[in-house]
Structure 1
């Protein structure tokens, strides 16, 4: 297989960030500790994002894209990225570049021993309200999931693809990826990474949908945990 890591980049109306994103990702591919590629998942953008994405992919051999017919949300974009990945490892980073691609190399140092390695943002460069709502939401999710994660919504992580493809995704589940790996008996670890302020574009989440939406999703997770099907085959003639 030509690449070992495929980096998913969900995009929704990020035209102001895409040129800088191309530069950052292209520079990372030159220093990546494993052969890596990029997959843009355009979540039905209504600005010039798609035109810019196609130009970027034309200029860069290791860059590809898929375009949704309409906006379906972040969890759906990540799910599509998992579906379209055929590499051993799959990564994920936000298009706003508040995390840096080079930190994938830090996560890659730990992936052999774990099914999922996720970043935890240190010295976050967000507004107070955003940091506080995230802190409350993370505390609630930890109480429900018992996953021990301090930053379950960190937009920088790497997953072994066979685990990622077995996650039964639903809207909002991107916040529960570590917990869903644990349901498969996979091990997870969080590693400190850099965090930067958003310099262009606008956040797609406000205080209320960052806090109350995840609270409702916690109950969906509890139902899924109770009913989750997981098995291991020890022998087969097939």
Structure 2
């Protein structure tokens, strides 16, 4: 079996009503554009998300399904999806349908014209479709993160990203790492760019986060990532 050029990794937890519409949107956006696969990672959903995904495999040959036997969180789901992926480049989407798969070709175009040292193309939600409190909390968190990490990224929490698989797998792994990919990529010596993308209201299901739990874990994570950046040492090598 030949390897695809691109793997689209989608972590999900209790998103049964969003699975089928998003899978079909991904195939509509990418068929004829790139040789791709779709890797869904079900984080031990308590609804019938897994059953919906299993039934979709019969009609969507590009679809693969990974299942967590215990709930492990979004970062672990993303990492396990990337580890299972066969493509050299990875596109990620949140499973709630708020990211638009039609933006993936835009990221591919950005990559095609970019310098080889750019390993991450991060989505930037310029027109957020969340509640006012969620937008305010995100703006506050982004400002603090930018001040502490200096990652020059206006929207590190956007779920749609395109990155090189090998570069991602070299990054330090920890819970919630998916929120700090630009800073971690830069720590590893690579460059990143932000690309404006579409953002949509959630059409089904409920958010798995609230502003308080995001803030509580974010404080500890920020301190940890800042420590990692301070302790980083990059040495380029050459063979003679």
TM-score normalised by L of structure 1: 0.94
Cα distance in structure 2, aligned partners of 1:29 and 1:12? 24
The number of residue pairs the alignment matches comes to 235
In the other structure, the counterpart of 2:3 is 2
In the other structure, the counterpart of 1:12 is 13
- Structure 1: segments with no counterpart, 5+ residues: none
- Structure 2: segments with no counterpart, 5+ residues: none
**1:210 and 2:218 equivalent?**
no
**1:128 and 2:132 equivalent?**
yes
In the other structure, the counterpart of 2:83 is 83
CA distances 1:192-227 after superposition (whole Å, capped 9, x unpaired): 111110010000110112223212101110222233
**1:161 and 2:165 equivalent?**
yes
- SS across alignment from 2:170: coil
CA distances 1:93-124 after superposition (whole Å, capped 9, x unpaired): 01111111110111111224221001101211
**1:63 and 2:63 equivalent?**
yes
Cα distance in structure 1, aligned partners of 2:52 and 2:235? 43
- SS across alignment from 2:69: coil
**1:103 and 2:89 equivalent?**
no
In the other structure, the counterpart of 1:23 is 24
Q: Is residue 136–residue 211 contact of structure 1 (8 Å, CA) maintained in 2?
A: no
- SS across alignment from 2:16: coil
Task: Choose which of 188, 195, 202 in structure 2 pairs with 1:198.
Answer: 202
TM-score normalised by L of structure 2: 0.93
Cα distance in structure 1, aligned partners of 2:100 and 2:32? 13
In the other structure, the counterpart of 1:146 is 150
Cα distance in structure 2, aligned partners of 1:122 and 1:147? 18
In the other structure, the counterpart of 1:35 is 35
Q: CA deviation at 1:230?
A: 4.1
Please say which of residues 209-218 and 155-164 is displaced more in the overlay: 209-218
- SS across alignment from 2:189: coil
Q: CA deviation at 1:29?
A: 2.6
- SS across alignment from 1:58: coil
Cα distance in structure 2, aligned partners of 1:188 and 1:144? 17
Cα distance in structure 2, aligned partners of 1:106 and 1:27? 14
- SS across alignment from 2:162: strand
Cα distance in structure 2, aligned partners of 1:211 and 1:37? 34
